[in-house]
Structures are given as C-alpha cells and as structure tokens.
Structure 1
Amino acid sequence: MILPINVKESDFKAAIAKFEAVLGKEWVFKSEEDLNLYRDAYSPQWDDEDEPIPSLALAPKNVKEVQAIVKIANEYKIPLFPISTGKNLGYGSCAPQQRGQVVVDLKRMNKIIEVNDKRNFCIVEPGVSYFDLYEYVEKNNLNVFLDIPDPGWGSPLGNALDHGWGYSYGMYRDHFGSHCGMEVVLANGEILRTGMGALPGSKTFAENKYGYGPYVDGLFSQSNFGIVTKMGFWMMPKPEHYMLLSIKMKRREDLIPAVEILNYLEDSFIVGWPQYFSPLNPPYGKPMNAELKSYLTSKNGKADLDKIQNYALRNGIPYWNIDVSVYGCKSVCDANLHYIKERFKVIEGVDIFIVEEYDLPMNLEQKKKMKHKVTLGIPNMEIFWISTRGETFDPSDGHVWFSPIIPRDGNELLKCQNVYMDLFSELNMESPITPFSHPRSWMYRAFCFMLAFHNSRTDREYNLKVRQAYRAMVKVAAQNGWGDYRAAPTFQDDVMGAYSFNNHALRRFHENLKDHLDPNGILAPGRGGIWPKNLRDNRFANNRRDEAILKGDKR
C-alpha cells in the first residue's frame, strides 16, 4: 500500500472507510489495477521510487460530496489532488503532484448547466469534455462554439485552470481569460462563488467577470487554494463564413516582417489564429532529407544558414508557411483577404491563396475534410498521436512539454532558435530545434517556443538525462527573459523558482495565502510550486535526489 506522506496506515484506513460511506465503495478506487490508471503515462520518473502515483482515487458526483471529502481529509491530514478529466498529456496527465496524494477525480460531475447563444456563454462542471459541450450545442442547434485545444477529450474547466489555449480569435484562445465566474470548494469545505456569482440569484454569473471588490479568480488557476466545481465561459458566435488562407515566404528573414504584419492584423481582429510552420520540417513520421540534415551541423558543428536557405530556394520549398483563419460574412472575408494581400506586398515573392472556405453551418462531409477543425471549435482526436507515444519518438514512451513564453517578435524567435541549439550542443544531445523551428501562436500577444522531451519506461538513466536537460532549459530561458508557462509536476518547483523577482516575492505571497487558506496543507501540496508550511522541505526534493544519483549515491 502506498501511503500519503506523514499519514499513518491506521489513519489512512479509517479515512478510507469514511470516504466509502460518503461516496459508496464503487467510487473509492484503491486496487493497484485502478490506481495504475492514474499514473502519468509520460512520467519522466517512470518506475522511480518517487514516481507520483496516488494512494487512492475518489470520484464524487456533486459538490456536497466534494465538501465531505475535504472534511475527512482535514480530519486525517490527507493530501488531495483534484483533476477534471485528467487529460493533461505532457504536463502530468492525471497523476498527483506527489507520490501518495489522493486523486479527487471530478469526471462524474459532468453537467452542462447552461448554454446561451443569445448572450454567448456557457456554464459547465469539471467533468464536461469539449466533445460533450460540442455535441450539446449541435444537438440543440445553438449558434455558438467554444474555443478548444487539441485533442478534444479534455475539460474546458481543467484546461482553463492550467492556462490552456486554442485556435480562434485571441480573446477566446486564452481559455482562462475567456472564463467568467467560478464556484470553488475551499480547503475548509466552504463554497465560494466569484465575481457576479457572489450575488445570490445573480443573472450574469458567466457574463461579468468582476462583480464587486477584488478579482480573485486567478488565485485558483495553476494553484492549490481550492477545488473548482463550476465555471462559466464566453463563447464565440458562429460566423456566416470561414476562410483559411496560406501565406508562403521564401526566406528565413521574411519571418521578421511577417510577424509584425500579423500582429497588427490579429490585434485588429482581421484574422484569427495564425499557424506558423516551415515546410522544411518533414511530415510527422518521416525522416528529414539527408542533404538538408547534413547542413544542420556542417559549419563547425553548427547549422549553415546559407546552405539551408539555398537548399530551400533551389528546391522551391517555402522557408515559412503561415495558415491564417478569417471569419465573418462572405463579403467581409473577401475584403479582408484583399487587405491582407496588400499588407504583405512588402515581402518579396510572398504567395497568399485560399486553402478552403465554407459557408456556415457546414455539413458533415465538409466538417470531415476541413483542414483545421479546431478553428471552428470542432473537437477531434486527429492529432492525438502527435502528443502521445508514437513511432516518431525515440524512445517512444511519451514526452514532457517544455513551453517557454517569448515575445511575439521575429527577431526574438530566431534568437531563441540559436540559444536552444547552442544549449543542446553543450548538453551533447541531438537538438530538436533547427533554424526552421516555428513558434506556437496559441498565446494571445505572445509566442510559445515549445518542444517535447521524449522519455522512456525502461531506460531510467535516459530519463535522468532528460530531467537534467529540462532544468537546464528552464535556467537558460530565464536568463533570456523567457518563462515556462506550464509544467509537469516533476519540474514545477524549477519553473516557479525561475519567477524569482525580489527574492521570490511571488512565491512567498502564494505561501502566505496557502498557510491561511489551507492550514493543514491538504489541497494538492506542491502544485504550482506552492508548498504548505508542513511540507516546504519537499521543495526541490526531485532535484536533490537526481543530484545524489549523479554523485553515485544509491537510488
């Protein structure tokens, strides 16, 4: 039996009996077979003695049962770790923050409380998935959609709380930014509603964020101050027409003016999500052209930018391709297309054309063949394999994401490429970054320069090397003014440690709140790098253990 830290076996068994009395035995998961389902399939600590595996999992069906769980946890000082649908792949999945914590699985709380397509909002519980909400909207012929990430099996509530992003207009792509109102069970079991929800009988729970007084919603994102049981979201009205454009450019430096132009167009709501990529990157699952690959290390072990550029020009391969979504009525989309072409005339040889366009509503066949379904809020699993174990990964047992935020600036992106390529060279690791690696543009008003660290279920030494590399990347990013926005449990202390202005004033503020709101430290200790006072010695425990291993100490 895995026990929570500092909890006696007799107390744990007594707590289990009380959990079973509240939830029913069938919703208290304690067998090894059940608990293995709550392991992080991509854990960089797989099979290590401190791999974060839960001691128990609980599945309440309503807020009252969540309150009862919190009460019992306080009685026995048992750490809880709430999840929505547990699909946070690459960032910890459904595993707890620390070995032995009790997962509170909110999947049974799956009510769609309201969807309004006249005022364009919805209110949902944590167990509702993007698929659930989409099917509800389509079944009821509602004229709205919710901005979504990939893949579509996750929870709007859970994704927003971890600062997830999507694919339509910027104001909707920011999923926490587009939330409005929440209900929270605090560590003492009390129910709190934020914003207008604090007004009994409020009719604008999901329409006005602020209500009266301090705005506190942000305290419950990427933190451990409460269990969110209800959340409102602003939804986007379905447009009359949709157009997908492709912008192709010949030279590496063309990215610099292209970003500037697209910043203006996006911030003016002329275009939605711009997807940056380079056709020099091979399709997933395909090897890179041998000649092109040879140029990545042909200049004193570094990339020869001139040869790469000449290769692209000689073979007629655009150095950059940017897909851009345009929304509106048909005449507005046509006018915006004309304006976009005019703005891009400053880039020599640019080619802009329509990839696809549709009048809405679309029929099933159109939805199936649509290139970027997510830009119209259509959830799917088509790119699931990109974010999972697959033949493109070596080793092929999953990955953890490294996701630093950088300025939305072409020069900074090219600098970022060089910094990371140099670091991987110093680490004596093959670099996943090339001179044609592209930014992720989900974030509104910033780029995310994201990469995957692949891990293994069999090679623990390799995983140790991955953890070293990840931590080095966090430090180098911080030195350049870039900060990771989201991380797996293994690295959350490292990431929070990088946000160190004024002797870690932000972390100290979080900890002061933690000590007052959760004096027993029962809610997700360590989540977001926030530790309760009784467990602060655990900060950087993973790092200390890895350092001991590197010094030759026994695992």
Structure 2
Amino acid sequence: MRLPTGVSEADFKRAIDEFAQVVGKEWVFIDPEDTLLYRDSYSPLWDQPDERQASAAVAPDSTEQVQEIMRICNKYKVPIFAFSTGKNLGYGGSAPIYNGSVVLDLKRMNRIIEINEEKHYAIVEPGVTIFDLYHAIQEKGYRLSMEMMDPAWGSVIGNALDHGCAHTTTYGRDRFHDHCGMDIVLPTGELVSTGMGALPNATNSAEFHYGFGPYLDGIFTQSNFGVVTRMGMQLRPEHEAYRAGIIYVPKFEDLHRLIEIESHCTNSGIANGMTHFGSPVQGPMLGEGMGAMKAFMGRSELMKILHTQGRPDSKKLEIYAKKEKMGFWSALIKFHGPKDVIAAQWDYCRQKFLDIPGAWAEDYGPVVTFPLSKEQEAQLNTPGHAEKVHLGIPSMNRFDFQAQFNEMRSKPGEVSTGHLFFAPVIPKDAQSVLKCQDVFYKAMTDMHIHVQPGHFGRMPMGWFNRSFIYLVPLNVTRVPSVNKKEVEAYKHLIKVAAENGWGEYRTHAIFNDEVMNVYSEHDHALLNLHETIKDALDPNGILAAGKSGIWPKHLAAQRARVRSL
C-alpha cells in the first residue's frame, strides 16, 4: 500500500475507514489495480520513480460528503487532490500533483440541477460533462445553445475552472466567463456560496455574477483554494444560422494586414466565431483532417521548398502558391446569428479583407440553419463543411485527428502514446507570430527535437480574440529516454518563451512550478499573494499541493524550489 508522504500507516488506515463511513466502502479505492486507473495516461514520467500516482481514491456523491472528507483529511493531515472527471489529457489527467495524495473523484456528482430555457442558464455539478448537458438540452427540446470545447467528454465545471476555450458565439473568452455563481467547499470543510448565492432564498444566482462585496470567484480557477461542487453556466438562445468564409492572401508580408483586419472584425463583434488562421502553402489548418495532411505532404515540389534548415524561402513559396492558387496565408471567419444578419456581417468582413491587394474570398461550406436536419448533421466533420464543435455540438473528433497525427509522427520503437502541448500566450500581431516561429524553431533544434516540415506555417490558435496561443507539440511515448528529452525540451521552451515576454496560460501538471516561476515580476509578488491566500484558507495544506506552483507552508522546500528554478 502506497502511503501519502508524512502520514503514518495507522493514521492513513483511520482516514480510509472514516472515508468509507461517509461515502460507503464501495466508493473508497485502495487496491493498486484500482488506484492505477487514476494514472495520467499521457504522463511523460510513465513507470519512472517520480511519476505522479495516487495512494487511494474516494468518490463522494454530494457536497455534504465532500465537506466531511475535507474534515477527515484535516484531522489526519492527509493530502488530497480533487478533479471533476479527470479528462484533461495532456495536462495531467486525474493524477495528483503531489505524489501519493488521495484523489477526490467527483464524477458521481453528475446532477444537472436546473436548465432554464426562458432565462438561458443551467446549474450543474462537477461530474456533468459537455455531452451530458448537451443531451439533456436536446432531450427536453429546449432551443438553447451552449459553448463548446473539444473533446467534449470533459466536465463543464472542470473545463471552465481551467480556462478552457469556447469555439462558438463567445469568441475571445474562456468558458469561465460563462459561469455565474458557485458553491465551494473550502479545505477546512466550510461551504461558501458566491455572488447572489450568498443571499438566503435568492433565486437569481445564475443570472447576476457579483452579489455584494469583493468578487472572489476567480481565485478558485486553476487554484488549490477550494473544491467547486456546483456552478451556474449561462447559455444562449439557439442560433438561427451559421456560416463561414475563408480569406486568402498571396504574399508573405500580407500577414500583417490579414491579422489587423481580422482583429477589427472580431473586436467589433461583427465576426463572432473562433477564427482559424493558416498558411495553405505550408500546411493544412487544424481540423482539416488527415486526408488534407496526406495530400499536402504528397506535393513533392512543395516538400522540396519546405525541407530546409530554418524558414523556407518566402519568394519560392509565393510563386508556388500563385501557380497552385493556394494563397500564402488564410483566415477562416465564422458567424452565428439570424441568417440575413450573418450574411451582411460576412459581406462587411469580406469587403474589408479584399482591400489587401490580390486577396480573394470564398464561402466555406453551406449556410447551416437550426434546428439541424439529419442530412445537415451527417455532413458535419467532413471536408468542406463545418465541424460539430463550431456549431455547439459535442464531438470527439479532435482525438481521432490527434491519434492519426501521432501515428504519422511515430518512429520505430517510439510509438506515440500521447502528447504535450507547450502553449504560450503571444501578442496578436504578425511580428509576434513570425518571431515566435523563429524562436521556437531554434529552441527545438537546439534541444535536438525533430521539427516537422511546415513548422513555419503552423499558425497560432485564435481561441482568444485579443491574443494568440502558439502550440508547440511534443510526443509522449513509453520510452524513458525519449520522454526525458521531451521533458527537458518543454522546460527549455518555458524559459525561452519567458525571455521573450511570453508565458503559458495552462500547462501539464509536472511543469506547474516551472511556469509559475517565470511569472516573477516584483520578486514573485503574485506567487507570494497566492501562498498568503493558500495558508489562510488551507492552514493544514491538505488540498492539491503544488497546483499552479502554489505550495502550502509545511512544504517549505517545494516553495523554495519554485523561486530557484
């Protein structure tokens, strides 16, 4: 039996027995075969001594049970790590950050407490997945639209708390912006309701965010300050229609105007779906599928131009793009709303983009109207048509693409078993895009990490309309030497990015300390504040030690490590 660090076997057994009295013996897991289910499937530390693993697991069914579990953990100083569904693969999954912690599995708390069609909101528990909420809305026949992430098997609450991104009508905002009101169990076992929920008998906790006094909800995102057991999520009336258009520009230097005009359209609220930028002459856009990737790699003349050290010759690419009518850069623009309105919005945006010399515009797939017919739905996720996620329909399509992409990248004896994404936030302008392409290319080659042809065509993700997220993919395998190399490369990328003023908004669990360390302005003042709050709310330091690089006071050595990295 694995014991949490610093907890005696006798105290651990007492805690396990008391957990069983609260949730039932069948919902406490201590057998190695059971606890192995809580491993991080994408862990680059797989089967290594420092792989993060749980000592036990407990699965409560209610907020009251969560409170009792917290009190027991305080009594015996047992570290505990909470998660909603544990589906955040690539970020650590359900494995605890502090090795040997008990995991608090909230999947049984999967009740949809309310869906209000008239006022457009839902109130859910942490075990409710995107699929669950979507299907409940459909089964009730409600004309509601929900913001969509991918893949959709994750928790509504968990994704929002980790600043997951929306693809549909709230372009530019993470999903936490749609939350309204929370119930939070503090590490001491106390229950707090935020916003209007703090008012007894209030009936609008999912409609008005603030209540009275300081607004505290944000400190419970990406933190270890409490366990959210209930949350309001604001929805929208069902869209009337969806359409998309794609803009192509012919020259390397056109990227500046392309981004500038897109920012004008989206910051004005005229284009209101998530924009996908690309470089057709350097690689397919995310979501175009493996067919497009294989067809692209079959262009032998183009591959000769791209197979080069450093940035490929832009003039040669321009000539090739003109010959093949491909465009050098592209922007896929999306619109949700009444059919006539979005037609006018697309027309306005198209005219703006056509001010770029040589630019051209095309409709991207047919206009989609709601509710969807069976024929319309059957066309989704096929070439030339919208992805389900862009219409607010849950899907696992991204995993299918990622699995095929990983298989294509795998080498003999180094089969990919997952991935890590280094994901820094960069300014939304062409200068920053081109700079980060060069910076990360050099960083990867310096670390002897293979860079795929087309690296310089990999455009940042437009998940947030006023910033870019530049994804750098790294493979995870079951080969320790390969994984060690990838982990070191990831740490190197964190430092290189910080030197250029770029920091991650989200990261894998094993890199929390390294990422928090680079947010060091004013002698780590932000981390100092985090730790002050942590020690006040969690005096015994039991909850999710190390989350976001925040360590409790009794783990002073780990605290010091963050600042010394």
Superposition TM-score tier, normalisation by shorter sequence: over 0.9
- Classify 1:503/1:331 alpha carbon distance in 2 versus 1 (closer, same or farther; 3 Å): same
Instruction: Provide the rounded CA distance (Å) in 1 between the counterparts of 2:304 and 2:7.
Output: 56
How far residue 115 of structure 1 moved from its aligned partner, in angstroms, is 1.6
Q: What amino acid maps onto 2:213 in structure 1?
A: G
Deviation string, structure 1 residues 169-191 (Cα, Å, up to 9, x no partner):
33684101221111100011000
Name 2:103's counterpart in structure 1: 103
Instruction: Provide the rounded CA distance (Å) in 1 between the counterparts of 2:8 and 2:56.
Output: 14
Q: What amino acid maps onto 1:212 in structure 2?
A: F
Name 1:51's counterpart in structure 2: 51
Q: What amino acid maps onto 1:274 in structure 2?
A: T
Instruction: Provide the rounded CA distance (Å) in 2 between the counterparts of 1:254 and 1:115.
Output: 46
**Matching of residues 308-319 of structure 1 within 5 Å:** 308-319=317-328
Name 1:553's counterpart in structure 2: none
Deviation string, structure 1 residues 490-528 (Cα, Å, up to 9, x no partner):
100000001000000000110111111101110000001
- Secondary structure of 2:13's counterpart equals helix
Deviation string, structure 1 residues 113-169 (Cα, Å, up to 9, x no partner):
112222221111100001110011111121222111111101110001111002113
Q: What amino acid maps onto 2:228 in structure 1?
A: V
Name 1:413's counterpart in structure 2: 433
Give the one of 378, 386, 390 matched to 1:368.
378
Query: In the alignment, does 2:339 pair up with 1:335?
Result: no
- Secondary structure of 1:322's counterpart equals strand
Name 2:471's counterpart in structure 1: 450
Moved more, 311-320 or 86-95: 311-320
How far residue 291 of structure 1 moved from its aligned partner, in angstroms, is 4.2
How far residue 329 of structure 1 moved from its aligned partner, in angstroms, is 1.5
**Matching of residues 147-546 of structure 1 within 5 Å:** 147-170=147-170, 173-271=173-271, 272-279=273-280, 280-281=282-283, 284=290, 286=294, 288=297, 289-296=299-306, 298=308, 303-354=312-363, 355-370=365-380, 371-388=386-403, 390-394=406-410, 395=414, 396-432=416-452, 434-457=455-478, 459-539=479-559
How far residue 243 of structure 1 moved from its aligned partner, in angstroms, is 1.0
Contact 1:319–1:436 (CA under 8 A) maintained in structure 2: no
Q: What amino acid maps onto 1:27 in structure 2?
A: W
The root-mean-square deviation of aligned C-alpha atoms, in Å, is 2.1
- Classify 1:74/1:24 alpha carbon distance in 2 versus 1 (closer, same or farther; 3 Å): same
Instruction: Provide the rounded CA distance (Å) in 1 between the counterparts of 2:329 and 2:461.
Output: 13
- Classify 1:221/1:391 alpha carbon distance in 2 versus 1 (closer, same or farther; 3 Å): same
| Long gaps (5+) in structure 2 | 381-385
Moved more, 321-330 or 447-456: 321-330
Instruction: Provide the rounded CA distance (Å) in 1 between the counterparts of 2:409 and 2:70.
Output: 41
Deviation string, structure 1 residues 20-60 (Cα, Å, up to 9, x no partner):
11111111112222212111111111111010011111110
| Long gaps (5+) in structure 1 | 548-555
State the identity as a percent.
43
Instruction: Provide the rounded CA distance (Å) in 1 between the counterparts of 2:119 and 2:256.
Output: 39
Name 1:18's counterpart in structure 2: 18
Instruction: Provide the rounded CA distance (Å) in 1 between the counterparts of 2:541 and 2:264.
Output: 46
Instruction: Provide the rounded CA distance (Å) in 2 between the counterparts of 1:372 and 1:227.
Output: 33
Instruction: Provide the rounded CA distance (Å) in 1 between the counterparts of 2:561 and 2:55.
Output: 19
**Between Structure 1 and Structure 2, how many residues are aligned?**
543
Moved more, 155-164 or 302-311: 302-311
- Classify 1:452/1:500 alpha carbon distance in 2 versus 1 (closer, same or farther; 3 Å): same
- Secondary structure of 2:57's counterpart equals strand
Name 1:551's counterpart in structure 2: none
Contact 1:167–1:173 (CA under 8 A) maintained in structure 2: no
Instruction: Provide the rounded CA distance (Å) in 2 between the counterparts of 1:466 and 1:404.
Output: 17
- Classify 1:187/1:506 alpha carbon distance in 2 versus 1 (closer, same or farther; 3 Å): same
Moved more, 378-387 or 414-423: 378-387
Q: What amino acid maps onto 1:306 in structure 2?
A: K
How far residue 348 of structure 1 moved from its aligned partner, in angstroms, is 2.3
- Secondary structure of 2:147's counterpart equals coil
Instruction: Provide the rounded CA distance (Å) in 2 between the counterparts of 1:456 and 1:110.
Output: 33
How far residue 311 of structure 1 moved from its aligned partner, in angstroms, is 3.0
Moved more, 248-257 or 69-78: 248-257
Contact 1:494–1:540 (CA under 8 A) maintained in structure 2: no
Name 1:68's counterpart in structure 2: 68
Q: TM-score, normalised by structure 2?
A: 0.92
